[in-house]
Amino acid sequence: MSFLTELFGTEKPIIGLIHVRALPGDPFYKGEGMDAVIRQARADLKALQNGGVDGVLFTNEFSMPYEKTVSPVTLAAMGMVIGALKSSIKVPYGAEAIFDGDASISLCAATEAAFTRCMFTGVWAGDFGLVDRDIAKTLRLKNAYRLDDLKLFYFITSEGDACVGERTTVDIAQSLLFNCRPDAMVVGGAAAGFGPQMELLEQVGEAAGDTPVVCGTGCKLSNVEEILKRCQGAFVGSTFKKDGKFENPIDEVRVKAFMDLVHKLRGE
């Protein structure tokens, strides 16, 4: 049994993603104001919780294109959103500042989040240029904030980016286990809504041993059974949204249908 049961109440949790709308400073922010951003996040939180997810993760998903070093205004806005909703959160929650492990740690310290997920390690090449992470600095920051209980979910793949050095995903997983001791590892597909290959999940799972491996993208009704056979849970975003589209709000009916199947698969 891993930390997942203690944190989420199940060894195969489904963590619903709250994709926070574009924030002040983001290229596609239209000046609608933070009240509107909070209102949408509140509606998504309510739909996810009513639908029965095991946890939620707040992410700045609409801050595209993502920054290598997240802006102070983005962190402040994310903190405002989570703070405004904190009294309504009934499940374990996490926070993520996409692409920036240090910012994610700081955000968790300020919002008292229980876990975070990020691309904490490696050098990646893609649409955003070279993204070079410094895990030694990130873990020292976590220690400086005394976030001893904060659980880190490490992406070992990057959506649409290639690892510089041509290491395989399994190679990355094995070196991470030795060098960084991740609480859990996350395997995703090419982009939000696109899942990883089942064979890759199996290979990483074999390499990970007792460390949980979680699906990061593309988990849906049609493949959740196969994913949960190979993984210790999943982060779920787009499939919970109206018509399954990334840009839409969370649909409580879709969440409930998904979770009803998950409960059956978990024998609950």
Q: Is residue 202 part of a domain?
A: yes
Distance between CA 118 and CA 106 in Å, rounded? 13
CA 102 – CA 203 distance, rounded (Å): 29
| C-alpha–C-alpha distance, residues 20 and 75, integer Å | 12
In tens, the pLDDT along 175-200 reads: 999 999 999 999 976 555 556 778 88
Q: What is the pLDDT of residue 143?
A: 97
H-helix segments, 52-134: 72-85, 101-111
The mean pLDDT of 212-236, rounded to a whole number, is 94
**In this model, does residue 134 exceed pLDDT 90?**
yes
CA distances from 251 to 16, 159, 263 (A): 12, 24, 18
Residue 135 has pLDDT above 80, yes or no: yes
Q: What is the pTM of this model?
A: 0.94
Please state the domain count of the chain. 1
Supply the mean pLDDT for the chain.
93
- The pLDDT assigned to 131 comes to 82
Per-residue pLDDT tens over the stretch 14-40: 999 999 999 999 999 999 999 999 999
Q: Is residue 268 part of a domain?
A: no
Share of the chain above pLDDT 90, in %: 79
Average pLDDT of the segment spanning 100-116: 98
Give the pLDDT of residue 195: 62
Mean pLDDT of all residues in 233-261 = 97
| pLDDT value at 248 more than 60 | yes
Q: What value does the mean pLDDT take over residues 225-237?
A: 95
Q: What is the CATH number of the domain that holds 89?
A: 3.20.20.390
Structure tokens given for 198:
């089942």
Domain limits for position 208: 3-263
- Measuring CA to CA, how many Å separate 155 from each of 120, 190, 218? 7, 13, 14
243 within some domain = yes
28 within some domain? yes
